[in-house]
Structure 1
Amino acid sequence: MTQVDTGETGQGAAGRRDTGTGTWLPRIRRAIRAASRPGPWKRGRVLAALALLPGLLMLLHAQIPNRIGNLGSLVETFLPWFGLFIPVLLIGALWRRSASAVAALLLPAIVWLNLFGGLLGDKSHPGGDLTVAEHNVGAGNPDPAGTARDLATSGADVLALVELTPQDLGTYENELAKAYPYHTVQGTVGLWSKLPLSDSQPVDTKMDYGPLAATKPADVKMSYNRGLRTTVATDRGPLAVYVAHLGSARVNPRAGFWTAHRDRNAQALGEAIAAEQNERVVLLGDLNGTMDDRAFASITSQLRPVQDAAGNGFGFTWPAQFPVVRIDQILVRGVQPRSSWLLPATGSDHLPVAAGISW
């Protein structure tokens, strides 16, 4: 019988005997590393803290003080946009495989849905006794005639315009005369109506342009009166309509969120509405703020935003090219909002708003 020499002698045989050790050592090292690696509930603690932050800001926004840079009002102005942090942080949490970060995201998600989930659906209803609309036509509008023609075909029974300039007022009056036989203009705000108007008068909103006058084009002159009140005669009885254009809000690196004029105007307008004897009231205007802002408490405590009750989406109105906030408002008392929508863009930097109301 012939014996076959495998050649596994010396160092070759020793190398074969060491194969088991060489196989198990990497496995042991990997097991040690895996054991020392933090678990899914311990990973991403920074992400978890970041996830809680927008939730706490939305939950406690009313407690954020305005003493420093009007920070509370600034947060409330952009409150819906805090929801954008949720999907961004969720991607980071999944990438880090952090169970704690995912769990922490439940707080901002629940708070955001509680605050704004109702705006995601369409709450509008068909019908309505009266259609009202409002538009900041823009002092620098390059095509006031086209804007007026577009608004004349909107179907609104009552149309409020703000930021009217003496230069363009005649254009709006001429273009809207056929569709709206009744109108009143007080300063830079006006109301055009298919129904008779009476008791038209300015409303003192304690407006003072101050340094903001420099932000207007040099050839544009503005009146200091930016509020009016009138009575619309409907077949259901008189309807008190207010039109207002409150002071601007500015973000200033030194002063923060500057709203001094606007807040003073809002307080004065709230006082005027509180003295209103008619139980049916509609407020139309560019209020230069969102109704989540505490500065409008004197108004929202008396009137109901139609967008919350009968809107479809957030209804952002400014800036027209890429709206991020709803500062053009329609609020009511004593009548029922049926629907609320945006009208097509015009030459203004604001989008027009409209609503259907019923008795």
Structure 2
Amino acid sequence: MTVTLAPKSVPDRGSWRRGRVVAVFSALTAVLLLAHSLVPNAVGNAGSLLETFLPWTGLLLVPLFVAALIRRSALALVSLLLPALVWGGFFGGRLFDRTADGGDFTVVSHNVNDENPDPAGTARALAATGAQVIALEELKKPEVPKYEDALAAGYPHHVVRGTVGVWSTFPLHGTEPLEIMPWTRALRTTVDTPKGPVALFVAHLPSVRVRLDGGFTADGRDEAIGLLAGELAATPSPRTVLVGDFNGTADDRALGPITARMRSVQEAAGDGFGFSWPAALPLARIDQIFVAGVRPVAAWTLPATASDHLPVAASLAL
């Protein structure tokens, strides 16, 4: 009688040799995240373009994970831990709710879109939030009376300079336009809250474009950021709030002159990433609220209006 013994199971040592290409791309993804600030802006502002969508680099792990499974590669799967840990170090904290209760007043900022088909409805939606201060960008001069009429009952104090404006339940004074662009798209005013004055800046920085022949065209925006930072530095107020459409994210090095002196409320007290544009499928937070000398308590985005941007809001403690 012949007895056949079952072969002993042999570890698949090949799983540690397969998938080297996937492992290399995993390492490159980690390096890209760690060294994103070294990507130069000299050619097409490539560095700023990458940083605008930096959180989305996490999606690069999905095809790498699928490839590792197809290759049945332990090496590839383990290598994915490196970029995953790096991404988590950068953005993991933003996945959690950092909001709290309290605050002395709420500010809302919204690029209302100069082609907004329902200015009055947009204004009513913002007023329904109960915010004490509402800042609007991309106001079209013929449409301003519609915003004024819709907000008049709840916001007795308001100022408009060029295409930006502020509506407030608190008195405003010392309003002046800021010459950071050839046309008026920024202002500075003082909000007299019950706990003292707060310097409020509202800005709508120049648009950026991605073009095949020129890359990320952001030079006009970057120049305006430098001028705006100069205005902020020249303001003696110990409490400063800066809001508006920056056409750039807080991760973009171009906003460095601002983020070096002010905190992003979304990063400090937000819930999630707070993407605000485009409203139909938000991919980036280009609408910002920055503060200095003021403590952010909570930050969030509001439901869509008739604009192509989502409104952003923050509760602030003085």
**What's the TM-score, normalizing by structure 1?**
0.85
* Aligned-partner residue type, residue 323 of structure 1: P
The equivalent residue for 2:47 is 72
Which of 330, 335, 346 aligns to 2:294? It is 335
* Residue matched to 1:226: 185
Measured in 1, the distance between the counterparts of 2:100 and 2:63 equals 35
Q: CA RMSD in A?
A: 2.0
Q: How does 1:223-262 map to 2 (within 5 A)?
A: 224-262=183-221
Equivalents in 1 of 2:175, 2:22: separation in Å? 57
Match of 1:13 in 2: none
- How far did residue 100 of structure 1 move? 1.9
Task: After TM superposition, list the pairs within 5 Å mapping 1:283-298 onto structure 2.
Answer: 283-298=242-257
Query: Which one of the candidate residues 166, 169, 172 is aligned to 2:147?
Result: 172
Q: Which digits, 9 at most, give the CA deviation of each residue in 1:39-82, with x for residues without a partner?
A: 11210111111212221111100111111111110110110000
In structure 2, C-alpha distance between the alignment counterparts of 1:205 and 1:104, rounded to whole Å: 47
Structure 2 counterparts to residues 106-117 of structure 1, below 5 A:
106-117=81-92
Give the unaligned 5+ runs of structure 1: 1-18, 208-223
Distance in 2 between residues matched to 1:132 and 1:178, nearest whole Å:
18
TM-score (norm 2): 0.95
- Mapped partners of 1:141, 1:38: distance in 2: 62
Q: Percent of aligned positions with the same letter in both sequences?
A: 52
After the TM superposition, which segments of 4 or more aligned residues of structure 1 sit over 3 Å from their partners? none
- Give the secondary-structure state (helix, strand or coil) at the position aligned to 1:190: strand
Matched AA of 2:224: N
Report the alpha carbon displacement of residue 38 of structure 1 after superposing the two structures with TM: 7.2
Distance in 2 separating the partners of 1:38 and 1:113:
30
What's the offset of the Cα at 1:95? 2.1
Q: Is 1:268 matched with 2:230?
A: no
> 1:105 and 1:266 mapped to 2: Cα distance?
37
Q: How does 1:1-359 map to 2 (within 5 A)?
A: 39-207=14-182, 224-359=183-318
CA distance in structure 1 between the partners assigned to 2:152 and 2:79 by the alignment: 58
Greater Rg by CA: 1
- Counterpart amino acid of 2:93? G
Q: How many residues align?
A: 316
Segment drifting more, 37-46 vs 190-199: 37-46
Gaps in structure 2 of 5+ consecutive residues: none
Distance 2:29 2:159 in 1: 46
Query: Partner amino acid for 1:324?
Result: L
Once residues 187 and 158 of structure 1 are traced to their aligned partners in structure 2, the CA distance between those partners, rounded to angstroms, is: 18
What is the rounded CA distance, in whole Å, between the counterparts of 2:218 and 2:164 in structure 1?
21
Cα deviations by residue, 1:134-190 (Å, 9 ceiling, x for unpaired): 000001111111111111111110000000001211111111111100001010000
